Structure 1
Amino acid sequence: MSASYPAERELIASACRVLAARGLADGILGHISLRVDDASILVRCRGPRERGLAWTTPEDIRLVGLDGVPAGEGELEGYQVPNELPLHSAVLRAQPDVEAVVHAHPPDVVAADLAGIAIRPIVGAFDIPGARLAAGGVPVYPRGVLVRNDALGAEMAAAMGARPVVVLRGHGLTSAAQTVEQAVLQAASVDAIARLSLRIRCAGGTLADLAAEDMAELPDLGAGFNTGTAWRHELARLEEDA
């Protein structure tokens, strides 16, 4: 493996561990990619000492083209790109402003969708970025397939449109953003809303969207708080659990 992009490889590895710690990608499934130039991405690959998302290391992050061809000497030696690399490629091609793509399998997101519960802005100050994301709509890709070729990737990207997150029926979700941190935090917000929605329904309650005047009153706390501080918290949780 080449020595290029050490900080970015460490970031993606840490983000994979955050996904696992948050229960968004349990076991060996799930992956994160980061665009590094017009033709290449760093992506979590499957290696000879695979132990799952919770034990991802920078060595597991490999530099490849959007087509999965290694983009550096030794990049795929002993490693395989994810079967669902076309999921990442399709989003990055469809949304030029996106740099990072997260694919995860949150059980509560899958359960809520299968129960007919959409991701809606039911919360306010509980999670301001999540409320705004939900208010913009979270589409659903209605096929429970492995997104393992360009045709399926294009279908999923079309269902996603220009939105930052799409739910994959019977499968999980895809989250896209300008940074790895933001893409992971978006996935966590969708998972939290799905979990709350299930609890409310199970308690016999009715889901209701936040009032428009309340949504308008929610402040923009800025990326420094919404992403920077939140991400330091996620990394601190990892250290605590280590």
Structure 2
Amino acid sequence: MSTAAPVSTELGALREIVAQGCRVIAGRGLADGILGHISLRVDAHRLLVRCRGPRERGLGHTVPDDIRLVDLDGAEGAPGELDGYAPPNELPLHTEVLRRRTDVEAVLHVHPPEVVAADLAGIAIRPIVGAFDIPGTRLAAGGIPVYPRGVLVRTRGLAAEMADALGERPVVLLRAHGLTSAAATVEQAVLQAVSVDGLARLSLRIVSAGGTLVDLPEQDMAELPDLGAGFNTDTAWRHELARLRGVVDPDGLPATPA
């Protein structure tokens, strides 16, 4: 079985960002072992997606060579792209969202235990915090829908049901399964999932301590500033990569990844 590198080398930078995203969500505990995947639209008919390969080591060990170019039907997007590799079983989960949402370029699917547990316990993801996580609060305030079927989303029919539940929102919970996050970039899709996971963890802790979940008051919500993409996405993403690598420079500060 061949393990040759992908032929479309001009997509190297995009393969790297998808691979980084996979490693970040694994490092954050949002996906365990070999489960979970991220995709990124390349053009109207093709996407890069984490595939199963001959050297599968799990999500936390994803490398650019694991990211392969396929079309919306799962066929290889360029000669040699699927030589020894196979798209994830839930590829339709990605492609159905990309078919419907022109505002979406990246789709992420993970299995965060606390998110699944909170939903099964009847705890909705709500805007219970303020400055603790401003992007997460705004995300939750808009509502996070739930797809109520705990199935493997491996057909277009099931993917259509999930996409219906997602609607125009950035995130949908999949009951007894996980979550799907859709965004304009891989970084945004990952950070959205991190925020939902954080809110789920806090909610479970509050309820376990005997507390009651209360939404942030409207007057406090109105005071929350938009710190901009440079902080909410760019700086947050550099942190995620530095946190993942555990790299420290001589001054004791996280080094900026290359």
TM normalised by structure 2 equals 0.93
The C-alpha deviation readout for 1:68-119, integer Å capped at 9, x for no partner, is 0101111000001000000001111121110000000000000000000001
Aligned residue in 2 for 1:183: 189
Cα deviation 1:136-186 (Å, max 9, x = unaligned): 000000000000000000000000110000000000000000000000000
Give the structure 1 partner of residue 86 of structure 2: 80
> Which of 139, 142, 146 is 2:148 aligned to?
142
| Identical residues among aligned pairs (%) | 74
1:27 alignment counterpart: 33
Q: Deviation of residue 232 (structure 1)?
A: 0.2
Q: CA-atom RMSD, angstroms? A: 1.0
Select 2:166's aligned residue among 156, 160, 163. 160
One of 204, 208, 211 as aligned partner of 1:205: 211
Quote the residue 2:100 is aligned against.
94
In 2, Cα distance between equivalents of 1:117 and 1:91: 26
Gaps of 5+ in 1: none
Aligned to 2:239: 233
Q: Distance in 2 between matches of 1:228 and 1:156?
A: 29
Whole-Å Cα distance in 1 between the matches of residues 10 and 135 of structure 2? 33
The equivalent residue for 2:46 is 40
- Residues 163-217 of structure 1: per-residue CA shift (max 9 Å, x gap): 0000000000000000000000000000000000000000000000000010010
Q: How big is the shift at 1:4?
A: 2.8
Q: In the aligned structure 1, how far is the partner of 2:149 from the partner of 2:162?
A: 9
SS at 1:5 equivalent: helix
Amino acid at match of 1:145: V
Q: How many residues matched?
A: 242
Counterpart selection for 1:113 from 109, 112, 119: 119
Unaligned runs of 5+ in 2: 1-5, 249-258
Displacement, 1:123? 0.8
| Displacement over 6 Å in runs of 4+ | none
SS at structure 1 position matched to 2:132: coil
SS in 1 for 2:131: coil
Counterpart of 1:223 in structure 2 is 229
Cα separation, 2, equivalents of 1:166 and 1:91 = 11
Q: What is the aligned partner in structure 2 of residue 129 from structure 1?
A: 135
Q: Distance in 1 between matches of 2:145 and 2:237?
A: 25
**2:75 counterpart of 1:69:** yes
TM-score, with length taken from structure 1: 0.99
